[in-house]
Structures are given as C-alpha cells and as structure tokens.
Structure 1
C-alpha cells in the first residue's frame, strides 16, 4: 500500500530527499506522496525512509491505495527498470 502524508505535516523538508523513487513533493499546503511512485521503499530499503525521518509521525499507510508486497516489488521493478 502506498503511503500518505497527513495534515499534521510541519513542512520540515526531511522526507523529500529520502525517497528513492522521487514520490514526495511539496504540495499546496503540505508535502504529498504520488501513489504511483511510492513503493514504501520496497526494493531499496528494509523500512520506509520517509517514515523513519519524519519528526512528527505524519506518514501513514494510505487506505485508498492498498498493495501487497508483491505489487510493491513489481512497481519498484517498473519504476527502476530492474527485474527481480
């Protein structure tokens, strides 16, 4: 499942550079995550890097974009051009 940034975001700028897929960008009021690019860092890291660095714990699983580990891995492979 992709991640989402809640309105508790304080725009601290630490999450955006941590995303290996470039899925995080500045939105109108807070940072946002593009679900088509978010793999929860599957294929890159053991844990979601944005969640690890967020000082206010405002990055959660997006209930509107539920995906299995296999789907996240396939998305990673598509984005990076890698094959498992």
Structure 2
C-alpha cells in the first residue's frame, strides 16, 4: 500500500514539474517577445541607439540567466 502511495505522489510531482517547465518555457518566450517589442520601439525613436544597445544587452543577460537557472535546477543546487 505504501508503494502505491509513493508512486502516486511521484506521479503527481512529475506532472507538476512538467507543468512548471512548460510555464517557464512560455515565460522565456514572452520575455523574448517583450525584448523584441522594446527593441522595435527603441529603433523608431530618434537618438535611441543607446537604449537599443541596452535592450540587446539585457536580452543576452536574460538568456544567460535562464541557462544558469536550468543548470542549477538539473544539478539540484537551485536556491
């Protein structure tokens, strides 16, 4: 009986983890789209070259952060 309960809990945890991974993927996509919109907006402004470069740098930082988060999660060192 205990094995069945343990298996059921593990099954639910896996389903929750899958849902969390899907949501994180969607948030990364939304972040990328928002960065694209910001870059497009910056491109339309006069003298916005500096702002556009900052947006590009932030996008790179966001991508690096997402990769580090995935690595930490896989190594189970996320804090």
Give TM-score, length-normalised by structure 1: 0.24
- Per residue, is there more helix in 1 or in 2? 2
Q: Larger Rg: 1 or 2? A: 2
Higher relative contact order (CA closer than 8 Å, sequence separation 6+): 1
- Per residue, is there more strand in 1 or in 2? 1
